Structures are given as structure tokens and as C-alpha cells.
Amino acid sequence: MTKPPQQQRTGLLQGTLDMLILRTLLYGPAHGHDIGKHIQRTTNDFLQMQHGSLYPALHRLEERGWVVSKWEMAPDRNREFKYYRLTEAGRKQLLVEESQWKQMAEAVARVMWPAAEES
């Protein structure tokens, strides 16, 4: 599979984007632009969403059955957008990825700040 030539500015770990998207969709259905904006806003622009990875990620998630999509009227724009909605499988996947991420973060923390652990 083709690798995106431009990485996220902070070098998002492989698969992390999927988790972030799934987590964002927990609030309710959203379209691609919404999701990107949300992640960017929530991280205070630390994670600048590149559409080059957002759309492939969304389609990948849909292909795997973790999200479903539907064209729906946006309440404020009076136009149809493609809304993505979390499925049951997606919810489960989010839990899995969350716990994996937690373990990973803890493991990294233990190496990086061993003193904090002891005190």
C-alpha cells in the first residue's frame, strides 16, 4: 500500500489516528471536515490534520466495519454532508485501542521517568 509522503507534523503513531477518529465519533455522527477540525481544536492545533491521511483512514475504518456513513443534511449549512457514525464493532475496537494505548503510554512513561514511579 502506498505510504503518505507527508507525515503528521508530530509524527502520529501508526493506528493512533484511527483511535482518535473513533473517539471523536463517540460524541455522535460527524463528517470528515468536522472530525479533522475537532481533533485539531481539541489538541489546541497541536495535531494538524492532513486530509491526505484523514480520508484514507475514514475509508479504511468503513471498510473494516467500524464506522458506517450516510449522506445527511447538516443542521446549520442546509447542505448534505457525508456523516460517519460509530458501529457496535467500532465501539469495541475503540476500547481495545484505548487500552493498548494506555499500556503503551504507561510503558513509555516508566522508561522515561523512572523516579516519578518510585516516589
Partner 1 sequence: MKWWRTTKRNADLERELQSDLELEEEEQRERGLSSEEARRAALRAFGNPTLIREQTRATWSWSWLESLVSDLKYGFRGMSRNAGSTIFAILIVGLGIGAASTVFSVVNALLLRPLPFRDPGQLVWIANGDCCSTQVEHFADLREQNQSFSDLAGWSGGYSSGNEELTRSGEPERITSVAVTGNFFPLLGVDPVVGRSFTREESEGKYAAPTAMLMSNNFWRRRFDSDPSIIGRKLTLNNQPVSVIGVLPESFDFASIFAPGTPIDVFIPWPLMDKNKPNGNTMAVVGRLKPGVTVENAQAEFTVLGIQLDSQHPERNGIKPKLAPLEKHVSGEVRPALVVLMCAVGVVMLIVCANLSHLQLARMGTRQKEMAIRAALGAGRLRLLRQVLTESVTLSLCGAALGLLLAVAGTRGLAHLSAFNLPLLASVQVDGSTLAFTLLAAVASGVLFGLAPALQVPTYKLREGLQAAGRESSGSGPHGWFRDGLVVSQFALACVLLVGAALLIQSFLRVLDVNLGFQPERAAALRIDPSFPISNAAQANSFIDDVLQRARAVPGVSAAGISDILPLDGDRSWQIGAKGQVYDKNNHPEGFIRVVTDGYFEALRIALKSGREFSPSDRETSEPVVMINESLARTLWPGQDAVGKLMTQDGGRRVIGVVADVHHGGPEREGGSEMYIPMRQTGDYSAMRLVVRTTLPPDSLATGIRVALRPIDPNLPVTEFQTLQGLVDKVVSPRRFLVMLLSGFAGFALLLASLGIYALISYSVHQRTKEIGIRMALGANSGLVLRGVLATTLRLALAGVVLGTLGSFALSKWIESLLFGTTPANPAVFSGVDLLLCAVALLAAYIPARRASRIEPLQALRTE
Interface mask toward partner 1 for 59-98; x: CB under 8 A: xx--x-------x-----x-xxxx----------------
Q: How far is CA 105 from CA 19, 94, 113, in A?
A: 14, 16, 12
Does the footprint of partner 1 cover residue 33 (CB under 8 A)? yes
- Candidates 46, 52, 57, 48; CA nearest to 21 is 57
Output the smallest distance, CB 92 to partner 1, in A. 21
**Which of 60, 85 has the CB closer to partner 1?**
60
Q: Pick the closer one to partner 1 by CB: 69 or 101.
A: 69
Task: Name which of 58 and 86 has its Cβ closer to partner 1.
Answer: 58
**For residues 23 and 50, which CB has a smaller minimum distance to partner 1 in the complex?**
50
C-alpha cell at 55: 480520508
Q: CA dihedral defined by 1, 54, 79, 66, rounded to 10 degrees?
A: 80
Strand order in the sheet with 67-73: 30-31, 80-86, 67-73
Q: List residues binding partner 1 (CB under 8 A).
A: 1-6, 31-33, 50-53, 55-56, 58-60, 63, 71, 77, 79-82
